[in-house]
Chains A and B, each alone.
Chain A
Amino acid sequence: MKTTDQTDHKRRDFLKTGVAASAVTLAPGIVMHTAEAAPRDKAVDSSVRWGMLIDSSKCASGCDSCVQACNDENGLEAYSMPEGADPEKWDQQRPKWIRSVTLKDNLSGRISNLPLMCQHCENPPCADVCPTGASFRRADGVVMVDRHICIGCRYCMMACPYKARSFIHENVDIKPELAPRGKGCVESCNFCVHRLDDGQTTTACQDACPENAIIFGDLNDPNSEVSKALAEYPSVQIRADLRLNTGVRYSGI
C-alpha cells in the first residue's frame, strides 16, 4: 500500500492480525480478505466528482508515457504471451486501459494526438447494460467493475462507445496488490482509484505525462486546477451526441 497515513497502517495491522487469528478456526482454503477490503476512512460521496482535462495540443506524437505508466501501475504487462498464442491475435486480446490515438481531420488534414481511456460518464452505458450491476459508477464519478460479481459476459464492452474496456483472456499470475485482477472478468481505467482512496489526488498517467497534458482533479470544486482549466479553455466530450456527460474532456482535438 502506498499510504502514508500511520494511523491507517496501525488499524490495518490490527485487522490483519484479527483475520489471521480467525482464519485458523476456518476450514483450510477459506481465506477472508477483510483486511485488504477494510473500509477506508469514510464512504465516497458525490461531493467530489473526479475528472480530467486532456490538452491534445500538448500530446506529442510517438510518446506513450501515460500508457506505460498505466500498464506499470496496474500490472497490465505483468505477464507474457501464453505459449502457442498467435502474436497478432494476442495483441488484440491483451488488456489496454489507456491507448494513444492519432487522428487526421478529413477536411484540413490536421493531425492530433490524444490518450483515450474510460471517459467516466455520468450516465455510463456499460453500467446500464450490466446484468449483475458489477459495472457501476461510484458516487465520486469513478466508473469501475466490481470483480466479485462480474460474470464475464462482455455486454459492457458491446455497450461502451469508447471501446475502453478489456476482457482478461488469460491467467494472471502476478497480481499487483493495488489492482487485483484475474482471468474471465472485464476491467478498465478506474482513475487509479486505489490512489484516490488513499487520499492521493493524481493518476499514474497524469504523473507520467512529460508535457503536463493531463490535468486531473475534482470537477465539483471550482477552485481545482481541472475546473479552472475547463473554465478557461474550450473543451469537448468525445461522442457528445450521446449526452453521457463524460468525466474526461479534451481540448485541442
Chain B
Amino acid sequence: MKKIFYKEWDIASQTYWMILAVLAVISAIAGFAVLHMEHNGHWVTGMSNQIVWGTPHVFAVFLIVAASGALNVASIASVFNKKAYKPLAPLSALLAVALLIGGLLILVLDLGRPERLIVAMTTYNFKSIFAWNIILYNGFIAIVAFYLWTILDRKMNRFYKAAGVAAFLWRLILTTGTGSIFGFLVARQGYDAAIMAPWFIIMSFGFGLAIYMLVLSDFFRLSGRPLGDSVMFRLKNLLGVFVAASLLFALMYHLTNLYGTENHAYEAFILRDGGVYTAAFWIGQILIGGLLPLAIVFHPSLGKSRAWIYAAAIMVIIGGLATIYVIIIGGQAFPMTMFPGKTVIASGFYDGINGLASTYSPSLAEALLGIGGIAVALLITAIGVRMLKILPMSLADEVADPHSAS
C-alpha cells in the first residue's frame, strides 16, 4: 500500500458552485415548505391526530440512522485497525455529521413549536428516550467532529485511537436510542419490541454504507480522481453482509409476531391486507432494499460491475426509506387494540372502525422538507470536502489495496 495523499476537492470552480447552488435552492424550497406548514399549522400536511408522525419523520429517522452507519467505515479503520479503510475514514466522519444535521433539521422543523428548541435543549425529562436522544445527537456531532480533527490534524493524531473508539461506542448507543423511540412504545402493536434497537443498528450499517458508496464514487468521478475496484468491491461485499443481516432481523421481528395470536391482525395488515404498506414492505423493503441488492453484489458478474454496484447502493437507500415508512406510518395506521375481543363499530375519533386502518397521504410540503434535509446533508459534505483535506488524491488499486503487488 502506497502513501496516501489527501487534498481538497479540486473540481472546477464553476462545477462546485453549480452543485452548491442546486443544493441551496433545494434547501431553500424546503425552507419555504416549512414556513408554509408552520404559518398555517399542520392541517396543510397529511398528518392528523390519527397519523401523528408523517413523511418528515421517515426522512429524519432514515438520515439519523444512516448517519451513524456512515461512520462505520471510519470505525473499521480506527477501532478495528483495517488499513484499507484508513483513506476512507475522513469522508466517513464528515458524512456522518452532515447526515445527522440534515436529519435533525427535518425533525426540528416539523415540531409544532420549533421556536421552542431551546426548551428541548434545556428542560429534560430523563425518563424519556427522546430527551436522551437529544443529548446523544448533540454528543455525536461533537465527538465525531473531534474525531475528524484527530484524523486531519497531525498534532491531534495522538487522540486518534481514543476518539475513534469513543465515536464508535457513541454511535452504537445513538442508534440504540433511535430504535428505542419505537421499541419503548408499549401502546402500539407494531412497536413495543426490544429487537427494534439492534435492528436499527444493523439497518444503519447498510443505509450509511450505501450513501457512503454513492458519495464516494460521485465525488471521485467529478474530480477525476481514480477510484479502483478493490475499494468498491470491498465495500459492496460489506454492504451485502449488512443487507442480509437486516433481512434476518426483519424476518425474526415478523416471525416472533406471527407466533403469538395477539399480533396476527397486525401481521396480516403489514404482510397481506395493508395496501400501500404491504406494497412498501414486499416491494420496497424486501425486494428493492433486500433481495435485489443482495443478488447483485454477490452475483459473479453483476457484482463486478461498478454500475450495478452503484445501482445496488441506490436500491438499499430506496428500500431503507420504504422500511422506515412501513415502521413509522404503517405502525400508526394499524388501529390500536384497546378492546381485545371486541370490534369498534362506531367512534367519534376514528379508532379503527371495523378494523379499518387510518389513512394518510403525504403532502408535497412534507416531502419537500424531507428532501431538503438530504440537500442540507450533501451541502455540508460538499463544502467540507472542498475546504478540508478529506478525499485522498487516489484510491486506485495500487494505492488503496494493501495486498496490491505494486
- Give the distance in Å from the alpha carbon of A239 to the alpha carbon of B336 in the complex: 11
Contact in complex: B349, A163 (CB < 8 Å): yes
- Chain A residues, Cβ within 8 Å of B350: 92
A167 within 8 A of partner (CB)? yes
- Chain B residues, Cβ within 8 Å of A162: 338
- Give the distance in Å from the alpha carbon of A84 to the alpha carbon of B42 in the complex: 13
Q: Which residue of A lies closest to B349 (CB)?
A: A99
Give chain B's interface secondary structure class.
loop
Q: Which residue of B lies closest to A97 (CB)?
A: B349
Max chain A C-beta neighbours (<10 A), residue from B48, B111, B127, B332: B48
- Chain A residues, Cβ within 8 Å of B42: 93, 167, 169-170, 184
A-contact 0/1 string along B185-227, CB 8 Å cutoff: 1111000000000000000000000000000000000000000
Contact A106:B343 (CB < 8 A) given known A92-B48, A131-B125:
yes
Shortest beta-carbon distance from B333 to chain A in Å? 12
A89 within 8 A of partner (CB)? yes
Contact in complex: A133, B125 (CB < 8 Å): yes
Max chain A C-beta neighbours (<10 A), residue from B49, B111, B130: B49
Contact in complex: A166, B111 (CB < 8 Å): no
Contact in complex: A131, B342 (CB < 8 Å): no
Contact A151:B351 (CB < 8 A) given known A92-B48, A102-B344, A238-B339:
no
- Chain A residues, Cβ within 8 Å of B339: 103, 238, 253
Interface residues of B in 107-166 (CB under 8 A from A): 111-114, 116-117, 119-120, 123-125, 127-131, 134
Contact A85:B43 (CB < 8 A) given known A64-B348, A102-B347, A125-B187:
yes
Contact in complex: B112, A168 (CB < 8 Å): yes
A129 within 8 A of partner (CB)? yes
B184 within 8 A of partner (CB)? yes
Shortest beta-carbon distance from B266 to chain A in Å? 15
The 8 Å CB contact of B348, one of A100, A170, A186, is: A100
Contact in complex: A131, B130 (CB < 8 Å): yes
Shortest beta-carbon distance from B209 to chain A in Å? 29
Size class of the contact patch on chain A? 35 or more
Contact in complex: B344, A151 (CB < 8 Å): no
Q: Which residue of B lies closest to A81 (CB)?
A: B43
Stretch at the interface among A13-21, A35-43, A152-160, A211-219: A152-160
- Chain B residues, Cβ within 8 Å of A165: 49
- Give the distance in Å from the alpha carbon of A90 to the alpha carbon of B45 in the complex: 10
B346 within 8 A of partner (CB)? yes
The 4 A-B pairs at the shortest CB distance, nearest first, are namely A152-B112, A184-B112, A99-B348, A92-B48
Given A96-B49, A161-B336, A163-B349; 5 other pairs, CB 8 A cutoff? A64-B348, A96-B348, A111-B345, A116-B349, A171-B40
Can you name 16 A-B residue pairings with CB atoms under 8 Å?
A89-B46, A92-B359, A95-B49, A99-B348, A101-B349, A107-B341, A131-B134, A132-B119, A133-B123, A149-B119, A163-B49, A165-B49, A169-B49, A171-B40, A238-B339, A239-B338
